[in-house]
Structure 1
Amino acid sequence: MPDVQAIIADDHPLFRSALKQAAAQAMGEHPVLEASDLDELFIALAQHREIELVFLDLTIPGAKGVEGLARLRNQYPDILVIMVSANEQPKIIEQAMALGASAYIPKSSSLDVISEAIAQVIEGENWLPPQTDICTDDDSEQAQFARNLEKLTPQQYRVLSMIADGMLNKQIAYAMSIQETTIKQHVSAILKKLNVYNRTQAGILFNQMATVAEGDES
């Protein structure tokens, strides 16, 4: 089995412990780092460039549904991401896979199933729960938007997230401590890369990623 460095980003200590046990079965006794929120995850990734695999809880503090995954994929496109969640709704799984996750593991899965999923991802394959009924059309609007998101620079991604929050160019410029003309340039580049007509459409599509169905108990 390849030597893979990994980190578990989940705010539940008991599940992190169980996931480390499953990872050990699939990856051997390589050290697995832990993070309890999205900020801790990005700090760890900046400090440990050797990390190749992230286990990401869908509703970890700091994330807005699969927006956390989109941000991770934007900044670290070469890192493999395994989503873990108590939410097993096909639409959410479809969004996660469209945004570049390599697997989606329900928290109800046994350790053996989780280990199998990890091993499959490490070998370069995708993994989904058995009998998962999702649309895997790469030409879907969500898939196209996900691919286009990866074209944005981290700074452009930050601008987009603030557009989605309803902020004006002047407000974004103040928040980022840069000139408003620079924000306008970023917005033009964002719209072109995302292949959308205006900032409203960009914000709507971005916010759709943050939709997590009620009742997720991850």
Structure 2
Amino acid sequence: MNQLTRILLVDDHELVLWALVAIIREKLPDTQVLSASSFDQGFETIKNTPVDLIILDIDVPGGNSTKMIEKLKSVRADIRVLIHTAMEEEDYSIKYLTAGADGFLSKASPLPTVAEAIQTVLRGEKYMSPKTQNLLANSYLKSVTNPAKPKEASTITPREAEIITLLLQGKWTKEIASQLGIKWSTVSTHKLSIFEKFGVTNVIQLYKKILQDYPDLIDVSTTQVKPKS
């Protein structure tokens, strides 16, 4: 008899969980599906129950960092982690794959693609969308042609520009989340990305860095940050 396959879904969105369960039951009917609504709950689950695959939303409560991958794999090195997120693929896919994730999947992906990603990772292979493959190829080519060049802070997205503007206006994370109509954990995830891009660890350093090295990004009179591509 084949060993039972267990998949743990770590996501706090009921509709997403429902859709994933439906896909797994259709494509992998002999699979046991577990779920957790926070990273800490998911971590406790894998400490007590052997799991083959974790489908993880990086915006889940208690998460928001690539360190989640290291922590999960510290419990069992061969556990597979498929990132399933609504966060921008351009900003997060390579970062999480480099940190040890076994696949990166956008929540905007069609159902057949979701099924393909799950089956690919369960086979022990890496899953990357064509978009992420292109990003990875371009990143590699840039590293070869200009290995010493750091990531440009001017690659901030429109959403990150909004968040930087509010941070520099003294807004707290929950205030920003309320004003933009997004979860506070989403704001925290964007903040981590922003700090990494600018090479800083707090808002004061961010403001000084922008004024010193990227003055064209900000209108000092209004503290308005302009996104660049």
TM interval, short-chain normalised: 0.5 to 0.7
Q: Equivalents in 2 of 1:93, 1:134: separation in Å? A: 9
Larger Rg: 2
Q: Could you list the per-position Cα deviations for residues 156-194 of structure 1 after superposition, in whole angstroms to 9, with x for gaps in the alignment?
A: xxxxxxxxxxxxxxxxxxxxxxxxxxxxxxxxxxxxxxx
1:211 maps to which of 170, 176, 192: 192
Residues 212 and 28 of structure 1: is their aligned pair in 2 closer, same or farther, counting only changes over 3 Å? farther
Unpaired stretches in structure 1, ≥5 consecutive residues: 141-207, 214-218
The answer as to 2:46 corresponding to 1:36 is no
2:219 maps to what in 1? none
Higher RCO, 1 vs 2 (CA within 8 Å, ≥6 residues apart): 1
2:82 maps to what in 1? 82
Q: Could you list the per-position Cα deviations for residues 44-73 of structure 1 after superposition, in whole angstroms to 9, with x for gaps in the alignment?
A: 112212x11101111110012322223212
Unpaired stretches in structure 2, ≥5 consecutive residues: 144-188, 195-229
1:55 maps to what in 2? 55
What SS does structure 1 have at the residue aligned with 2:46? helix
Q: Equivalents in 2 of 1:84, 1:210: separation in Å? A: 20
Moved over 6 A (4+): none
Deviation at 1:210, TM superposition (A): 8.0
Deviation at 1:3, TM superposition (A): 4.2
Q: Report the number of matched residues.
A: 143
What SS does structure 2 have at the residue aligned with 1:7? strand
Contact 1:8 1:35 in 2 (8 A): yes
Q: Equivalents in 2 of 1:64, 1:101: separation in Å? A: 14
Q: Equivalents in 1 of 2:124, 2:115: separation in Å? A: 15
The 5 A counterparts of 1:2-17 are 3-17=4-18
Q: Could you list the per-position Cα deviations for residues 62-112 of structure 1 after superposition, in whole angstroms to 9, with x for gaps in the alignment?
A: 012322223212333210000010113323100111111111110011111
Residues 43 and 98 of structure 1: is their aligned pair in 2 closer, same or farther, counting only changes over 3 Å? same
Residues 92 and 2 of structure 1: is their aligned pair in 2 closer, same or farther, counting only changes over 3 Å? farther
Deviation at 1:24, TM superposition (A): 2.1
The answer as to 2:154 corresponding to 1:128 is no
What SS does structure 1 have at the residue aligned with 2:131? coil
Q: What is the RMSD computed on CA atoms of the aligned residues?
A: 2.5
Q: Could you list the per-position Cα deviations for residues 116-144 of structure 1 after superposition, in whole angstroms to 9, with x for gaps in the alignment?
A: 1111111221111223232365xx8xxxx
What SS does structure 1 have at the residue aligned with 2:105? strand
The 5 A counterparts of 1:1-218 are 3-49=4-50, 51-132=51-132, 133-135=134-136, 211-212=192-193
Identity of aligned residues (%): 26
User: TM-score under structure 1 normalisation?
Assistant: 0.59
